[in-house]
Amino acid sequence: MQLTSIPVEKRFPLTLRQSISSIRELYEVGKEQRWVPHQDINWDALDFSGLDEETRRAASLTWSRRAWIEYASLTETPALLVRLCLEAGRESDPKYFLTVRNTEEAWHIECCHRYAKALGGYIDRPSEKSMESVFNQNRYRKVLDAKCHTDAFLMVHAAFEDNLELVLYRAYLLNAVEPVARRILEQFVQAKERHVEFGWLYAHERSALWTDTDRQAIAEALRDHLLQVELRGYHCPWLADPGGAEARALAITTKAGLGAISAAEEQQVFEANLEDMQARLAELGVSLDLSGIIPLTRD
């Protein structure tokens, strides 16, 4: 087995000055918008007594699933942070920003877990064993590997994927009736807006340095992510199995106003986001090939 080699850090000279003022500003705003999940969410107001058992179980699965997705960041963000520290010349602003982002991601995990628990019990793994590989992406291994194209990784996860999460969370919020779910989703949207802005601001900053080869690597990484992760149902379970337990749970959660949208609505959001991403990437000279990807099919 070939062992993973990582870059070697050259600590000095150690730049800590503000280099990308827009990202530094996001870091400052992140600190200002700090909140405390166990205090700022009115957990005592939760009352699911009017819900039948099937609805509670379904919503619990939907929110547990969100915890699994958010959990990826507990290794991804520190790994990305370390990677930026290992590469000479990386600015301090993204590093500072990522430390705030990771705290917010931990709060998201905590909220999803607690909400699922209140619904009757957090579920600690997918309904189908085969789905586990979709979540087991080991992103930290990828980004710490010296062979990883860091900007491609950033484009996939900090620009593209966070953008998808933002548009989905916005839609969940619009459709949420239950007040605690609404409050949680409001916080998620506020944080994700900054996370997405970070991804694209940094992309614009870095794009001046990209060669054609870099752009090709980014396009390939994005398409690979779409095919290997998204279309396998990572964010939208119906893409993997429209009749599966998690897709059914989504429908029930949506109907109960507990912070979800239907598969049909997710499809619209997903496709619109892809087209938006394609256009934004084109501005950076990255050509995202969506052939065979959209229109999506739900059966």
Task: Tell me which of 63, 115, 140, 202 binds another protein, using CB under 8 A.
Answer: 140
Task: Tell me which of 57, 66, 95, 206 binds another protein, using CB under 8 A.
Answer: 95
Task: Tell me which of 9, 47, 224, 289 binds another protein, using CB under 8 A.
Answer: 9
Please report how the helices 245-255 and 53-71 are oriented relative to each other, as an axis angle in degrees rounded to 10. Answer: 110
CA angle 204, 217, 292 (to 5 degrees): 105
Task: Tell me which of 28, 54, 224, 283 binds another protein, using CB under 8 A.
Answer: 28
Q: Which among 42-50, 120-128, 246-254, 265-273 is the span making contact with another protein, rule CB under 8 A?
A: 120-128
Task: Tell me which of 79, 155, 180, 203 binds another protein, using CB under 8 A.
Answer: 79
Task: Tell me which of 14, 213, 292, 295 binds another protein, using CB under 8 A.
Answer: 14
* Closer residue to another protein in complex, CB, 97/270: 97
Whether the link from the prior residue into 13 is cis, omega within 30° of 0, is: yes
Residue 9 is classified by DSSP as P
Task: Tell me which of 26, 41, 59, 100 binds another protein, using CB under 8 A.
Answer: 100
Cβ 264 vs Cβ 295: under 8 Å: no
- Is residue 88 near another protein by the rule CB under 8 A? yes
Q: Kindly state the helix (H) or strand (E) to which residue 40 belongs, with its residue range.
A: helix 37-40
Kindly write out the interface string for residues 206-225 of this chain, putting x where it contacts another protein by CB under 8 A and - elsewhere: --------------------
In angstroms, give the least distance from the CB of 66 to another protein: 12
Tell me how far apart the alpha carbons of residues 254 and 168 are, in angstroms, rounded to a whole number.
Answer: 13
Burial level of 115, CB count in 10 A (0-12/13-18/19+)? buried
- Is residue 102 near another protein by the rule CB under 8 A? yes
164-to-5, 23, 70, 206, 252 alpha-carbon distances in Å:
31, 20, 13, 21, 22
Kindly write out the interface string for residues 229-258 of this chain, putting x where it contacts another protein by CB under 8 A and - elsewhere: ------------------------------
CA angle 65, 276, 108 (to 5 degrees): 25
Tell me how far apart the alpha carbons of residues 111 and 113 are, in angstroms, rounded to a whole number.
Answer: 5
- Is residue 33 near another protein by the rule CB under 8 A? no
- Is residue 11 near another protein by the rule CB under 8 A? yes
Residue 20 is classified by DSSP as -
Task: Tell me which of 45, 130, 141, 272 binds another protein, using CB under 8 A.
Answer: 141
- SS3 (DSSP) at 171: helix
Which residues contribute to the site for another protein (CB under 8 A)? Answer: 1, 3-17, 28, 31-32, 34, 36-39, 67-68, 71, 74-75, 77-79, 81-82, 85-88, 95-96, 99-100, 102-103, 105-107, 109-110, 113, 122, 124-126, 132, 135-136, 138, 140-141, 144-146
